[in-house]
Each structure stands twice: as structure tokens, then as C-alpha cells.
Homo-oligomer: A and B are copies of this chain.
Amino acid sequence: MNTDELVELGQQLRVDSVRASAAAGSGHPTSSMSAADLVAVLFANHLRYDMDRPDHPGNDRFILSKGHASPLLYSAYKAAGAIEDGELLTFRKLGSRLEGHPTPRRLPYVETATGSLGQGLPIGVGIALAGRRLEHTGYRVWVLCGDSELAEGSVWEAAEHAAYEGLDNLTAIVDVNRLGQRGATRHGHDLDAYARRFQAFGWHTIEVDGHDVDAVDRAYGEARSTTGQPTVVLARTLKGKGVASVQDREGLHGKPLPEADEAIAELGGLRDRTFHVHEPHTSGQPRVIPSSETELPRWDPGEKVATRDAYGHALAALGSGRGDVVALDGEVSDSTRAEFFAKEHPERFFECYIAEQQLVAAAVGLAARGWVPYASTFAAFLTRAYDFVRMASVSGACVNLVGSHAGVSIGQDGPSQMGLEDLAMMRAVYGSTVLYPCDANQTAKLVAAMAGLDGVRYLRTSRGAAPVLYGPDEEFPVGGSKVLRSGERDRLTLVAAGVTVHEALAAADTLAREGIDVRVVDLYSVKPVDRETLRRAAEETGCLVTVEDHREEGGLGDAVLDAFSDGRPVPRLVRLAVRTMPGSASPDEQLHAAGIDAASIASAVTLLVEEAVVR
């Protein structure tokens, strides 16, 4: 498109943004208007995308990191012929694909859900990594950011990662409209302030008037021809550009324009221009991923193996069987054992250093491109990325997250390193799966199984070695459990997972010698739980005692409730969990101090028997 056409298209996107927001009675037209020219030039002259084939492997990827400017995005889709005007006006209505913030669950052109700021660029880095290191189809990744969101640390994790990897297939476009939600940003229209930061991190920077379509056009061209480093286009814009009553004014964030018709007239009225987005350079052949039978590692019962070790070996084996499996780690791969994968498959391993938000974001980006990512760090440090995990579920992203060093059983390192809230955090994520194996063979099977699930999957591993309980051919369906001790005289059921399975078994043996039979259930699938087995245990033993190396809220103890929250009779319930703030101590001392070791379990059960709480 030439200058005049681009100007016209920008105005059309403004008009349609105003119209969509007016029809909805809410939305962010002024944030759309500032970036309208930036998007017009990108979509018309630079983006390469087959609108009929969102799955085309050569498509460029566009991420609207400032997701609240969704009216602009949908207006651009309309101009590109992908959606009708009628649908545009369903914006923000019940059942519409055009949500307040874009999500790929509903609209195939959307790469990732946005709306929590500072996520678009890190996820874009993940997609650019896929393009650069794995796919080689020549696509570019364009991320449109707001200026306010540059305050998020995750943006600088992404800036660091992208520059270090030399991602010249990545372009960030920053809509520097000076105004955040509440008022002015720290740096206003000082483009240099942002340029200095990006340059220091190793980016090529271009400063431009974001309403000068020719200058923007040249900037994108320069970004495309820049090699060896990512480019950021810093565009000076005006919020509400084009409508004098709202232009560059505070207090109008997230509000439809007060006089929509007048604004539309001021913008030159309705237009109905469409254009054809440039086709991808490359063929549309889907990529071929080599695969073969996965030969999981096998351990003999009785061997002492840490589940984190089993994770590393199983992941390496899975990587050999499946060419679509990739691994990422937050600079602790020697602890999580992701290093076993890294050694065997270095081309599919992504070191993310100590930047857990970027770690999870890169996994989300890789998953968006169809890869099967396993991202690992200490369970405790996944809390750093909770917003990204939450948003991954909004995207419907299929990511595997693996948290090691869970619980007090890590020992001397103390509470800062102990994942004690991770089960609660992960269970609360929509559509998530939460797995917590207790032995090596179980871990290996679950590592392989999780690759085939929907949504966010979480695997919790332990630091210390534990005896292998199960044979290598045992199966562990997700949503299942294992009954490890069972008899007709069971007076209650111990429900455990991970390290506490071993403690529960030892307690059961102690209690049996005292004439108290108890059932032991290994609830390795914390979400979904095995309702059938729990209900049978409830009926047959009348009392469930949950034992977990986790806070008492939101973990195993709460998870069993899922089997009884439909109004049916509920068994008696007792929770053993970590109720204090641990200090340093040995693993055994920690488990004892928390009241979740074998001796504590046996004592608790004995008390229940003595007090006739159980039959």
C-alpha cells in the first residue's frame, strides 16, 4: 500500500475500533487509536500470513501484547478479510469470539492470550526461538507492546534472552502513547529512555513517529533487514489519536468514546477497505517430526532413586522417541536433572537462566508452535511465573511444568528453596493436571503420559533418593491411584503422594505390628483425583488421613474433597501437612518436625484409634 492507502487504513481501523467499543459499551478505543497506524502498516505491507490457513508453518506471528487494544486487532482482521463487520460488532458480548482480550482458544489468528501485560514479548521470544532453532521456515515474530508494560520485569527477561540468542526474526513494536491506565508513564514520550535500555540489552533500536506511515514502513523494513539482533521500533504516538476530544488526554483509558458518531465523522467516516495480507514465503507443508517407540528407563524395585533423577532420564528417553519434545530450564538443570536431556538433545534444549517468567513464557511460545515443552526449575521458583501459568491456561497452552525439590524433605537449604505452595497453585489453574510421583518407574511413566494431555500439566519431583516401589511395567493412568496396603480390617486409609508414600508405608507396617490395619493409597494423580478409589476407601474404612509434604491448604488434603463434593456422605477426614515455618535441618528431621514422617503418622493414627474417632 502507498502512503495514502495506509493513512486511510489507519483511519478505518480507528473508526472500527470506536464502533466495536461503542457497540460493546466497553473496551479500549483510545489505546487502539494510538497504535492504528502501526498495525495498518504492519498488516498491509510487512506481515506474511495466509489468513485462510492460520496453521501455515510459514506464517509470520503477530502478538498483541497490549491485549486491551483488542478492538484494533479485530478491526485489522476485518480489513484483512478474516472476519465480517457483523461479527466485529459482537465484540465483548456473550458467546462472541471477539473477547475483551484476545485468546487463541476462540480465534485461530491469535497466537497467545494477552491481557496480563508484559507477557507478549516473552512468549514472542519462545515462538522466535522455535522459528530460529527448530523450524527454519523463515517466519518473523512481531510483538506490539504498550509503553506502560515496559515496567514489567518480564519484558527485560525477554529483552535479555532475545538479544543473547540473536533473534533477528523478532521485532518488538512499542506504542509509546505516553499514557497508562491511571495517568502518565514514567518516561512519557522520551523514546530515548526506552532506546537506551533496549540498546544496553543488545537490541537494534529505531525511533519513529508512529503516525507517520512512511516512517513506520521504513522502520519495519529496517527491522526485517537487521541481522544478528532483535529490533525494537519505538513509536511516538498519541492515545486517542484522531479525535480531538480524547486525543492525548488522561482519564479516558478503557472507556468507549463519549460521542461515537461525532468521533467517526471526525475520523472521516465509515470505510470498508479490505486488503490481502502477503502470503508466507515458504511452502505450506506441515513439518515432519521424527518419532519412534520411546524406550523409557527401567528401574528394579528396591533401587534407591530420586524422582528428579528419574525425570531427567525419562525426559531424555522421551526426547529420543519423540522429535517434538523440547526442554527448558531455569539455570538449575543439574538439580532438576533436565541436564540429562540437554546432553542427549542439545539442539532441543533451551537454557533460560534465572528468569522463571521467561522460562514458562518460552514454553508457552514453543507450545503455540506445536512443540511439546518440558520446563523445569525448583517447585518453589515456579511461583515466580504464576501469572504466566494462569495465562497459559487462558491460552489453552499445552505445557509441561516440572518442579523439583518439593517440600520440607529437601532438608538443610530451608524454606526459601522448599516448594510448599506449588500443589495449591497448580491445582487452581483451569484444566490443569497435577502429578506427584513417589518412585522412579512411576515418574517415567507419568513423564511420558503428560505429553498427551490437554492444558497445563504439572509434575512435582523430590530431591532425595527413595526406594523404587513399582515394577517397570506397571501402568499409572492419569486420574488413577495405587492401593498399596489393603485388607478387610482396615480402620482408616492413609492417602499420600511422593515422599509421604514411603512414610505412610512405614507407618502402616508399624501400626500393623501393633494390630492396627490401615489402607495406604498412593494418590500420584493429585488432579484429577481417583474418585472411585477414594470413595471405596471412604465406604470401607470410614476415615481418610491425608499426609502431604505441602501446606495444609490447597494440596492433597483439599484434593480428596473432590471425590466428595457432590452431596454424598463424606468420610471423616484428618490432614497431616506442613503447618510450621521450617528452618534448616536434615531431611528426616524436617519430615519429623512437620509431623509427616512415619513415626508422626503412626502416632496420629494411634491417637485416632484411642479416641475412638475411627472404628
Given contacts A101-B413, A334-B181, A334-B182, contact A558 B553 (CB under 8 A): yes
- Bitwise interface map of A from 511 to 554 toward B, beta carbon under 8 Å scored 1, else 0: 00000000000000001000000000000000100000001111
- Name the distance in Å between A137's Cβ and chain B's nearest Cβ: 27
Chain B residue contacts of A27, Cβ below 8 A: 412
Among A484-531, those with CB < 8 Å from B are 527
Q: How far is the CA of A293 from the CA of B236 in the complex (A)?
A: 49
- The interface centre, meaning the residue of A24, A96, A181, A329 with most chain B CB atoms within 10 A of its CB, is A181
- Bitwise interface map of A from 556 to 588 toward B, beta carbon under 8 Å scored 1, else 0: 011101101111111111110000110111100
Q: Are B200 and A115 in contact (CB under 8 A)?
A: no
Q: Is A103 an interface residue (CB 8 A)?
A: yes
Q: Are A157 and B164 in contact (CB under 8 A)?
A: no
Q: How far is the CA of A118 from the CA of B154 in the complex (A)?
A: 12
- Name the distance in Å between A399's Cβ and chain B's nearest Cβ: 16
Q: Are B583 and A331 in contact (CB under 8 A)?
A: no
Q: Are A339 and B414 in contact (CB under 8 A)?
A: no
Q: Are A117 and B152 in contact (CB under 8 A)?
A: no
- Residue of B164, B393, B566, B584 touching A186 (CB-CB under 8 A): B164
- Total number of A residues with any Cβ neighbor in B under 8 Å: 121
Q: Are B431 and A581 in contact (CB under 8 A)?
A: yes
Q: Are B570 and A106 in contact (CB under 8 A)?
A: no
- The interface centre, meaning the residue of A67, A115, A391 with most chain B CB atoms within 10 A of its CB, is A115
- Residue of B148, B196, B614 touching A567 (CB-CB under 8 A): B614
Beta-carbon nearest neighbor of A195 in chain B:
B200
Q: How far is the CA of A428 from the CA of B557 in the complex (A)?
A: 12
Q: Are B567 and A569 in contact (CB under 8 A)?
A: no
- Name the distance in Å between A511's Cβ and chain B's nearest Cβ: 16
Q: How far is the CA of A383 from the CA of B115 in the complex (A)?
A: 14
Among A370-416, those with CB < 8 Å from B are 380-381, 383-384, 386-387, 390-391, 393-394, 396, 411-416
Chain B residue contacts of A118, Cβ below 8 A: 354
Q: How far is the CA of A584 from the CA of B101 in the complex (A)?
A: 8
Q: Is A105 an interface residue (CB 8 A)?
A: yes
Q: Are A428 and B417 in contact (CB under 8 A)?
A: no
Q: Are A572 and B569 in contact (CB under 8 A)?
A: yes
Chain B residue contacts of A248, Cβ below 8 A: none
Q: Is A271 an interface residue (CB 8 A)?
A: no
- The interface centre, meaning the residue of A106, A196, A417, A421 with most chain B CB atoms within 10 A of its CB, is A421
- The interface centre, meaning the residue of A154, A196, A384 with most chain B CB atoms within 10 A of its CB, is A384
Given contacts A380-B390, A554-B428, A567-B608, contact A106 B583 (CB under 8 A): yes
Q: How far is the CA of A383 from the CA of B351 in the complex (A)?
A: 24
Q: Is A93 an interface residue (CB 8 A)?
A: yes
- Residue of B116, B384, B394, B424 touching A427 (CB-CB under 8 A): B424
- Bitwise interface map of A from 28 to 53 toward B, beta carbon under 8 Å scored 1, else 0: 00000000000000000000000000
Given contacts A153-B153, A353-B151, A570-B573, contact A584 B384 (CB under 8 A): no
Q: Is A274 an interface residue (CB 8 A)?
A: no
Q: How far is the CA of A571 from the CA of B575 in the complex (A)?
A: 16
Q: Are A186 and B421 in contact (CB under 8 A)?
A: no
Among A98-156, those with CB < 8 Å from B are 98-101, 103, 105-106, 113-118, 148-149, 151-156
Chain B residue contacts of A476, Cβ below 8 A: none
- Name the distance in Å between A563's Cβ and chain B's nearest Cβ: 11
Among all A-B residue pairs, the 6 with the closest Cβ atoms: A153-B153, A115-B416, A554-B554, A424-B428, A200-B200, A94-B585
- 15 additional A-B pairs beyond A552-B562, A558-B558, beta carbons within 8 Å, are A92-B414, A93-B584, A94-B589, A95-B583, A100-B413, A117-B354, A151-B160, A185-B353, A186-B353, A386-B387, A424-B427, A424-B428, A428-B553, A564-B570, A569-B572
- CB-defined A-B contacts under 8 Å, sample of 5: A93-B584, A94-B585, A101-B416, A113-B415, A200-B201
